[in-house]
Amino acid sequence: MMPTVRALAERLGLKHNSTVELINRMEAHGYVQRKRNSSDKRHALVQLLAPGQQLLERVARQRITEVRAGGVELVEAMTAVLGYRKRHGSSSRKRN
């Protein structure tokens, strides 16, 4: 199912006009295509094209790799913020 511009704006947390500009740029690069909703011509639907799907998959892989690489540091930071070590004893790992 193809999302509307409005649905994408809401999902991305962007204003409608910012989303339209982003879609314009992506369409110019051949990543997406706009189509009119057949049941309501006021709404544009956005279709992800093959190059856009490839770009999305590449970006998702990069983000997964970044999360995996930073996972230990993220857990340690969250633990420190929550004060887990103070309430539940110190870590066996010493810090300098």
| 40 assigned to some structural domain | yes
What are residue 32's DSSP bridge partners?
Answer: 48
Residue range 62-78: average pLDDT?
81
Same domain, 37 and 73: no
Same domain, 7 and 43: yes
| 96 assigned to some structural domain | no
Return the axis-axis angle of helices 16-28 and 5-12, rounded to nearest 10°.
110
Question: The domain containing residue 38 runs over which residues?
Answer: 1-48
- Do residues 34 and 23 lie in contact, with contact meaning Cβ atoms separated by under 8 Å? yes
| 69 assigned to some structural domain | yes
Tally of domains within the chain: 2
Same domain, 2 and 41: yes
pLDDT, tens digit, for every residue of 27-65? 999 999 999 888 888 888 999 999 999 999 999 988 888
- Do residues 63 and 23 lie in contact, with contact meaning Cβ atoms separated by under 8 Å? no
In the predicted model, is pLDDT for residue 84 greater than 80? no
Higher pLDDT: 79 or 56? It is 56
| 80 assigned to some structural domain | yes
Same domain, 32 and 63: no
For residue 59, the model assigns a pLDDT of 92
